[in-house]
Structure formats: C-alpha cells, structure tokens
Amino acid sequence: MNTLKTATLLALLSALLVIGGGALMGRSGLYLGLCFAAVMNFGSYFFSEKIALLSYSARPVTPTGNSAIYHRVAPIAGRLSQRMKLPMPKLWVIPQQSPNAFATGRNPSHASVALTAGILEVMDDRELEGVIAHELGHVLHRDILISSVAAMLAGTITMLASMARWGMIFGGLSRDDDDRGGGGIFGELLMMLLAPIAAALIQAAISRSREYEADAASARYTGTPYELISGLRKLEAYSRRIPLDASPATAHMFIVKPFTGRTVMNLFSTHPPTAERIARLQAIR
C-alpha cells in the first residue's frame, strides 16, 4: 500500500511540475522545468551521498579508523546486510552529540549508513540493531533515490515559481497572450502561490510513507519491532534535549526529524509523529 501511495505521489509531483511550468511560463516554461528536473535529478542521483556526508563532516568507520566503533557496529550491519541480501554498506560517524542516523547512496552497491556520536553513546546494541535495520530498509527499498527525486522535483517547482515572480516584477513573463493559457494573470498568481505549497506537501507525504516502510523492514529483519520501538523512544527524548544542527535540505534523511525547537505542521513534516510510528510497530505480530 505504501509503495502504491509513493508511486501515486511521485506521479502527482511530476504532473505538478509539467502543469505548473506550463501555467507559469508557457510551453517554454514546461520544457525548462523538464530540463531542470532532468539535470538536477541526475546530479542528485550521483552526488547526494558525498554532499550529505560532507555537510555533516562525517568520518569513515573502518578497522583502522574509528576502530572501536567499527568493531561494535560492523558486525550488526554485516548480519543485517546478509539477511536483506544487500552488500555491506560503508559506515560513517558524525561528530555530533544529538542522537540520530541516516542512510544515503544512489543504490545498494553504493550505500552508506551514518551514525552520530550521540546515538552510539545512548543506545545499547539491541536498539542500535533496530536503527541500522531501519536505515538498511531505506537502502533495500531504494528510498534514497526516491527521496532525492522528490526533493529535486519539488525544488524545481519552487524555482520556477520564483522565476515567474521575478519575471512578472521586471517586465512580465517572457511569452505572449497566445501562450498564456486559460488562467490569465490571476491563474499565474494562484499557481505561483499554490504550486510550491502543493509540492512541499507531496514531498513530505512521500517521505512519511517511506519512513513507515523502513520501520516495518526493521521489525521484519530483526525479528521483533521492540528494538526499534525502544530506539525511537530514546531518539525522541534525547533529540529534544540535544538539537541537531541539520540543514533543511537533508533533514528528511534522518531516522527522526532533527529537533530545532520550532513547531511544524504535521502536513509539512517529513517524518510521521514518533507516537504513531511506535503504535504501528506495536501492531506488528
């Protein structure tokens, strides 16, 4: 069900890009939107892993680098990778005390799992297994690619709306009345306001759907939902006490939304409420 929902939402996001590009800037805007989406998706597919890891100063975890962490985490990741029939991911540690984790990489053969120093301090091995299984669930379902595509499509829609606004301010949009479409100037203004909001809502819904799927994968491959339940409870409590300095562009990647002290409407949140995630996990038998 979540897979079908994700496919439907991605189709809606793509349609919004095409229709929005056409409404805002005519046929040229439609083509421009498609070109930008193709270029940005290509860049996201190949470089999102390096960008995400660099932005958090992540350090590799190997037998010779951060060896104590490696000998604790690698056996857990190795067992889970075998169960999921995945290649062993690269392991990274982020030098931040706020407990959190994320997975990144363009496909299972180029996947990385990054853990903050804080999560390694507050979690026992059982809870850590639940968290790593969740992240490998994202790898198994290719959620990193799905999230990257959704983020780039939503970003392109927002960019087109911004370009249209500036074009209107400085002399109007670069198209004649025949290419303006049925909505006219009021339709364009409405699209400028609503298209970015709709894109953000759809992107957030896709992200929430994938989090539920990764939670279910953790329960399936660890054999119990209670490891992740315990881990999520700790993450929710500690992340509020120790906020993570996270970029809005990458906040959706983490297992729990980095707490910044600001309240965000659930519709725009990239993560489901932790209480709802725990309730769904508790319903698994």
DSSP code at position 82: H
Q: d(Cα 83, Cα 128) in Å, to the nearest integer?
A: 16
What strands lie across the sheet with 112-116, from one edge to the other?
59-60, 90-94, 112-116, 101-104
Q: Do 274 and 100 meet the contact criterion of CB atoms below 8 Å apart?
A: no
The rounded distance, in Å, linking the Cα atoms of 102 and 279 is 22
- CA 175 from centre of chain: 36
- Return the half-sphere exposure (C-beta side, CA atoms, 13 A cut-off) of residue 246: 28
Nearest-angstrom CA–CA distance, 49 and 270: 19
Q: Which of 144, 143, 133 is nearest to 217 (CA)?
A: 133
Inter-residue contact 206 to 144 (CB < 8 Å)? no
**Active-site residue identified among 49, 129, 135, 188:** 135
Q: What does the alpha-carbon distance between residue 101 and residue 119 come to, in Å, rounded to a whole number?
A: 8
**Tokens at residue 233, please?**
């409870």
Alpha carbon distance 196, 157 (integer Å): 6
- Is there a catalytic annotation at residue 135? yes
Six token digits for residue 222: 């660890």
* Residues annotated as part of the active site: 135
